[in-house]
Amino acid sequence: MEVADLKILFFDVGGILLSNGWGHEAREEAAKRFNLDYAEVNALHNFIFNVYEIGSITLDEYLDTVIFNHPRDFVREDFKEFIFSTSVELPMLQFLKEWKKDCGFRIISLNNEGKELNDYRVRKFKLHECFDAFISSCEVKMRKPDPGIWQLAMGIAQAQPNQCVYFDDRMMFVNTAQKLGIRSFQHVDLATTKKILEDLKKENLKTT
């Protein structure tokens, strides 16, 4: 394959293949279930979650700040189990696993995720079946929208921006990737992204 024909697909995970790892809906549900002050939890979460996502603190250290800063009538393991249980599969996941088998692309995840959540989601949902590599914020100590995480991903893939395509459900991240010269698409639903992927596959076959 000529270098100019090489194509790398970068995919976000939360909001496309799986639900968000610990999104506001899950935190709201946790507040109801565990009788927490949601406003307080959310304020502390927003203060420190980015630090967790770049791997500077563990999940337990995050929980020490956000949840177990007060005496609680529930135990840490029950709360952690709840966090993990909020991750659910979205329809795109099974499609991508099948599509990858003969798509002709390398597919790499590029996501913001804390380590314990990231490791759990990769294992639980068998994400190795759709990704050739993982560029996760907790491992590379950078998180989107830092342009450096896309630049690192392209360096690992040994690809130029015009050889890459990026998918994300958040327009801000799509725009950041586009500014780096990466063709980027916002994931809206399975049907729309499926059509984009099939068109990319046809385009790739014409150049190989």
* Cis peptide bond prior to 145, omega within 30° of 0: yes
Shared domain check, 73 and 115: no
Q: Which CA distances in Å does 87 have to 19, 118, 149?
A: 6, 11, 24
Beta bridge partners of 111: 136
Give which of 183, 38, 15 is closest to 113, Cα–Cα: 15
Q: Write down the residue that tokens 């992204």 correspond to.
A: 193
Domain membership flag for residue 192:
yes
Shared domain check, 178 and 126: yes
Neighbours of 25 (CB within 10 A): 11
Q: How much is the pTM?
A: 0.93
Range of 70's domain?
24-86
Domain membership flag for residue 180:
yes
| Number of domains, the chain | 2
Neighbours of 198 (CB within 10 A): 12
Domain membership flag for residue 173:
yes
Shared domain check, 174 and 125: yes
Q: pLDDT 10s digit of each residue in the chain, 208 long?
A: 444 466 899 999 999 999 998 999 999 999 999 999 999 999 999 999 999 999 999 999 999 999 999 999 999 999 999 999 999 999 999 999 999 999 999 999 999 999 999 999 999 999 999 999 999 999 999 999 999 999 999 999 999 999 999 999 999 999 999 999 999 999 999 999 999 999 999 887 776 5
Q: What local confidence, expressed as pLDDT, does residue 2 receive?
A: 46
Q: What local confidence, expressed as pLDDT, does residue 206 receive?
A: 72
Shared domain check, 123 and 33: no
Domain membership flag for residue 150:
yes
Shared domain check, 121 and 80: no
Q: What local confidence, expressed as pLDDT, does residue 204 receive?
A: 78
